[in-house]
Amino acid sequence: MGLRLLLHPKWSSTATASSKSATLSKYLAETIKATGPISLAAFMRQCLTNPEAGYYINKDPFGKEGDFITSPEISQMFGELIGVWFLTQLMLNQSVKKIRLVELGPGRGTLMDDMLRTSMTFADFHKNISEVIMVEASPTLRNVQSQLLCGSECKQGPDGRWTASSSKYDVLFTWVDSPKDINDDSTVSTFVVVHEFFDALPIHQLEKTEKGWRELLVDFSADKPNTPLSLPNQTVINASPDTPKFHLTLSPSATPASEIISQTHERYDKLNVGSRVEICPEAWEVSSQIGRLVSSASGSALIIDYGAADTIPINTLRGVKNHKIVSPFEEPGTADLSADVDFQAIGIASKTHYNVEVHGPVEQGDWLHAMGIGARASMLANNQTTEEGKKRIAMQYKRLVDKGIGGMGKLYKVMAITASGCAKPAGFGGEL
Ligand code: SAH
């Protein structure tokens, strides 16, 4: 449903984040009143990327001051080792040509900065990089990225392309909205890096009933309380009483998403009546695009995100605000919404139309160790002149590789997708 076409809220140019959220809430409630309940994906899309009030559109959400912190922001080692992984892809596969480096959802641009700085220490790698393409929906973050990597704003030229005039790494940077905007080019090898992007793509929730799959839709009522989705450790926000109350309701009839699920992967057929699952058609589309981009000229992709290696996600949607878990339904547009990534679905979708091979997923802690994080951390720690500096490196290392309960080394998984016929990649049984 083209939600945007239905109602056009008035956005004041001086609106604050909370007044924008109130306008978005009203807009979503009015839409539901007019058309009936909407899919969770439509709700999530508005919350995250509504051009006026979307979470990612207006702000830089990262770091201690922001809502959450990601691995590249924790330590430079993360991006450096990803840079080394792509270097090994170049060395292991003789048929790699000039390299087109693509990042989906680059945040502040820190990961790309660390990768490119690493590439500079391997002249043969750096001289092969002909272009960097950043896939980013947020104008605010596009500018944060271009300031970091290019020292200037990115601007749209007469040809419609968003580029920066120069870059500190001496490569051309282009910004696009979607991987679909990247053309096929068999004269270059495409290397794609995707960190914490899939988890931000909108999901549908479905339940298997006696009548087949039925979708859980977002409804609105004046009197029902918000459905908390049984989130562990959730912080309850005391929203004002006149704020619209959103909750989930089971659609009595089939919807486009419930029709798709029965036609897609057979693994859904095996589930029992009463099972609830999350599906992400947008992730399937992005995965297929990754398959397209890497399938020629020995291309490869590295995908890092959180989610189970081989099970279907169930009830994992969550909101995060100020480093705390909150209900996805309160104060839309002010919290990051994300769901566990379905790695099996990414692998299946990337291979459906293109000739690629899928490696992993493996746990982040194991992958980083295979890539030599221990040695890199020791080197960085030895270069520190203070005890405090040495401790900081040790903490960063531990945070990235920790495999205890809730540790990033276990929760996060790493998956590679390579053109068929490429050598087994490093960290997935291949040589470093
Ligand atoms: N990779 C970064 C940022 C992760 S947050 C890091 O690890 O620090 C998710 C990123 O994806 C942000 O840059 C956000 O603006 C972008 N994003 C979210 N949804 C998007 C979409 N539908 N299309 C393009 N970019 C999107």
β partners of residue 204: 279
**393 CA to centre of ligand 1 in angstroms:** 26
Alpha-carbon span 290 to 346, nearest angstrom: 10
176 lines ligand 1 (CB under 6 A): no
Using alpha carbons, select from 127, 161, 168, 123 the residue that is nearest to residue 147.
168
Q: What pLDDT, on a 0 to 100 scale, did the predictor assign at position 242?
A: 61
357 lines ligand 1 (CB under 6 A): no
Q: Which residue's alpha carbon is at the smallest distance from atom 10 of ligand 1? A: 105
57 lines ligand 1 (CB under 6 A): no
Using alpha carbons, select from 221, 275, 281, 212 the residue that is nearest to residue 248.
221
- Against a cut of 0.85, is the pTM above it? yes
Pairing of strands 172-176, 129-135: parallel
Handedness of CA 237, 242, 243, 249 (dihedral sign): positive
107 lines ligand 1 (CB under 6 A): yes
Largest pairwise CA distance in the chain: 67
Using alpha carbons, select from 120, 271, 328, 102 the residue that is nearest to residue 195.
102
| CB burial of residue 405 (10 Å; 0-12, 13-18, 19+) | exposed
3-state SS class at 276: strand
**216 CA to centre of ligand 1 in angstroms:** 25
302 lines ligand 1 (CB under 6 A): no
What are the strands of the beta sheet with 356-363, ordered from one edge?
A: 155-156, 162-163, 172-176, 129-135, 98-104, 188-195, 300-306, 412-419, 356-363
137 lines ligand 1 (CB under 6 A): yes
**50 CA to centre of ligand 1 in angstroms:** 14
For residue 364, which phi and psi values (nearest 5 degrees)? Answer: -55, -40
Using alpha carbons, select from 51, 52, 2 the residue that is nearest to residue 31.
2
Q: Which segments within 222-347 are labelled E, that is strand? A: 234-235, 245-250, 276-279, 300-306, 318-321, 324-326, 336-338
Contact 23, 15 (CB under 8 A): yes
Quickly count: other Cβ atoms within 10 Å of residue 337's Cβ: 24
Contact 371, 426 (CB under 8 A): yes
Assigned token pair, 1: 């449903």
Contact 356, 418 (CB under 8 A): yes
Pairing of strands 212-221, 204-209: antiparallel
What are the strands of the beta sheet with 336-338, ordered from one edge?
A: 234-235, 324-326, 318-321, 336-338
109 lines ligand 1 (CB under 6 A): no
**225 CA to centre of ligand 1 in angstroms:** 31
Pairing of strands 162-163, 155-156: antiparallel
Q: Which residue's alpha carbon is at the smallest distance from atom 23 of ligand 1? A: 137
Alpha helices in 50-138 (DSSP H): 55-58, 71-74, 76-92, 110-120, 123-128
Q: What pLDDT, on a 0 to 100 scale, did the predictor assign at position 267?
A: 85
For residue 414, which phi and psi values (nearest 5 degrees)? Answer: -125, 130
β partners of residue 85: none
C-alpha dihedral (285, 291, 296, 302), degrees to nearest 10: 120
196 lines ligand 1 (CB under 6 A): yes
197 lines ligand 1 (CB under 6 A): yes
pLDDT tens for each residue of the chain, 432 residues long: 333 334 455 656 567 777 888 889 989 999 998 989 999 999 999 999 998 889 988 777 886 777 888 999 999 999 999 999 999 999 999 888 899 999 999 999 999 999 999 999 998 899 999 999 999 999 999 999 999 999 988 899 998 889 988 889 999 999 999 999 999 999 999 999 999 999 999 999 999 999 999 999 999 876 555 444 444 454 554 555 566 788 899 999 999 999 888 777 778 888 999 999 999 999 999 999 999 999 999 999 999 999 999 999 998 999 999 888 999 998 899 999 999 999 999 999 999 999 999 999 999 999 999 999 999 999 999 999 999 999 999 999 999 999 999 899 999 999 999 999 999 999 999 877
**197 CA to centre of ligand 1 in angstroms:** 5
Q: What pLDDT, on a 0 to 100 scale, did the predictor assign at position 302?
A: 98
Q: What pLDDT, on a 0 to 100 scale, did the predictor assign at position 264?
A: 72
β partners of residue 321: 324
For residue 3, which phi and psi values (nearest 5 degrees)? Answer: -55, -40
Using alpha carbons, select from 176, 110, 138 the residue that is nearest to residue 48.
138
**Helix 110-120 vs helix 76-92: angle between axes, to the nearest 10 degrees?**
50
Q: What pLDDT, on a 0 to 100 scale, did the predictor assign at position 229?
A: 47
Which atom belonging to ligand 1 lies closest to the Cα atom of 177? 24
Alpha-carbon span 384 to 376, nearest angstrom: 13
135 lines ligand 1 (CB under 6 A): yes
